Amino acid sequence: MYSGSILLFLGDLGGGEMLVVMTAILLLFGADKIPGIARGLGRGIREFKDATNEIKHELERSIEDDDKPKKV
Protein backbone atom coordinates (compact mmCIF):
# COMPACT_ATOMS: atom_id res chain seq x y z
CA MET A 1 0.00 0.00 0.00
CA TYR A 2 1.28 3.43 -0.88
CA SER A 3 2.00 5.31 2.38
CA GLY A 4 0.80 8.63 0.97
CA SER A 5 -2.70 7.28 0.41
CA ILE A 6 -3.36 6.88 4.12
CA LEU A 7 -4.10 10.58 4.65
CA LEU A 8 -5.78 11.29 1.32
CA PHE A 9 -9.14 11.83 3.00
CA LEU A 10 -7.79 15.04 4.57
CA GLY A 11 -7.62 16.71 1.16
CA ASP A 12 -11.42 16.73 0.87
CA LEU A 13 -12.00 18.12 4.37
CA GLY A 14 -13.57 21.57 4.12
CA GLY A 15 -14.49 24.29 6.60
CA GLY A 16 -17.91 22.88 7.39
CA GLU A 17 -16.55 19.43 8.09
CA MET A 18 -13.82 20.85 10.32
CA LEU A 19 -16.47 22.74 12.30
CA VAL A 20 -18.47 19.54 12.81
CA VAL A 21 -15.36 17.63 13.93
CA MET A 22 -14.33 20.38 16.36
CA THR A 23 -17.86 20.56 17.79
CA ALA A 24 -17.95 16.79 18.27
CA ILE A 25 -14.58 16.87 20.07
CA LEU A 26 -15.79 19.71 22.28
CA LEU A 27 -18.96 17.82 23.18
CA LEU A 28 -17.14 14.54 23.84
CA PHE A 29 -14.29 15.84 25.98
CA GLY A 30 -15.49 19.19 27.29
CA ALA A 31 -13.73 22.52 27.18
CA ASP A 32 -11.77 21.93 30.39
CA LYS A 33 -10.08 18.71 29.19
CA ILE A 34 -9.10 19.78 25.67
CA PRO A 35 -5.99 21.79 26.72
CA GLY A 36 -4.73 18.82 28.75
CA ILE A 37 -5.27 16.46 25.83
CA ALA A 38 -3.46 18.85 23.46
CA ARG A 39 -0.60 19.26 25.94
CA GLY A 40 -0.22 15.49 26.30
CA LEU A 41 -0.30 15.03 22.54
CA GLY A 42 2.37 17.70 22.11
CA ARG A 43 4.61 16.04 24.71
CA GLY A 44 4.16 12.69 23.02
CA ILE A 45 5.10 14.10 19.63
CA ARG A 46 8.16 15.84 21.14
CA GLU A 47 9.33 12.62 22.82
CA PHE A 48 8.90 10.71 19.56
CA LYS A 49 10.91 13.32 17.62
CA ASP A 50 13.65 13.32 20.25
CA ALA A 51 13.87 9.53 20.18
CA THR A 52 14.05 9.41 16.37
CA ASN A 53 16.72 12.14 16.33
CA GLU A 54 18.74 10.26 18.95
CA ILE A 55 18.59 7.04 16.92
CA LYS A 56 19.55 8.95 13.77
CA HIS A 57 22.59 10.51 15.48
CA GLU A 58 23.68 7.14 16.89
CA LEU A 59 23.52 5.59 13.43
CA GLU A 60 25.50 8.48 11.93
CA ARG A 61 28.17 8.14 14.65
CA SER A 62 28.34 4.40 14.06
CA ILE A 63 28.82 4.92 10.33
CA GLU A 64 31.53 7.54 10.97
CA ASP A 65 33.32 5.16 13.36
CA ASP A 66 33.23 2.37 10.78
CA ASP A 67 34.64 4.65 8.06
CA LYS A 68 37.68 5.69 10.10
CA PRO A 69 40.82 3.66 9.38
CA LYS A 70 41.78 1.41 12.26
CA LYS A 71 45.26 1.47 13.71
CA VAL A 72 47.15 -1.80 13.62
DSSP per-residue string spanning 6-34: TTGGGGG--HHHHHHHHHHHHHHH-TTTH
Cβ atoms of residues 29 and 37 within 8 Å: yes
Per-residue pLDDT of the chain (72 residues; tens, 9 = 90+): 455 565 566 667 788 888 888 899 889 988 899 899 899 999 999 999 999 999 999 999 988 887 777 666
pTM comes to: 0.56
User: What's the gap between Cα 16 and its chain centre?
Assistant: 25
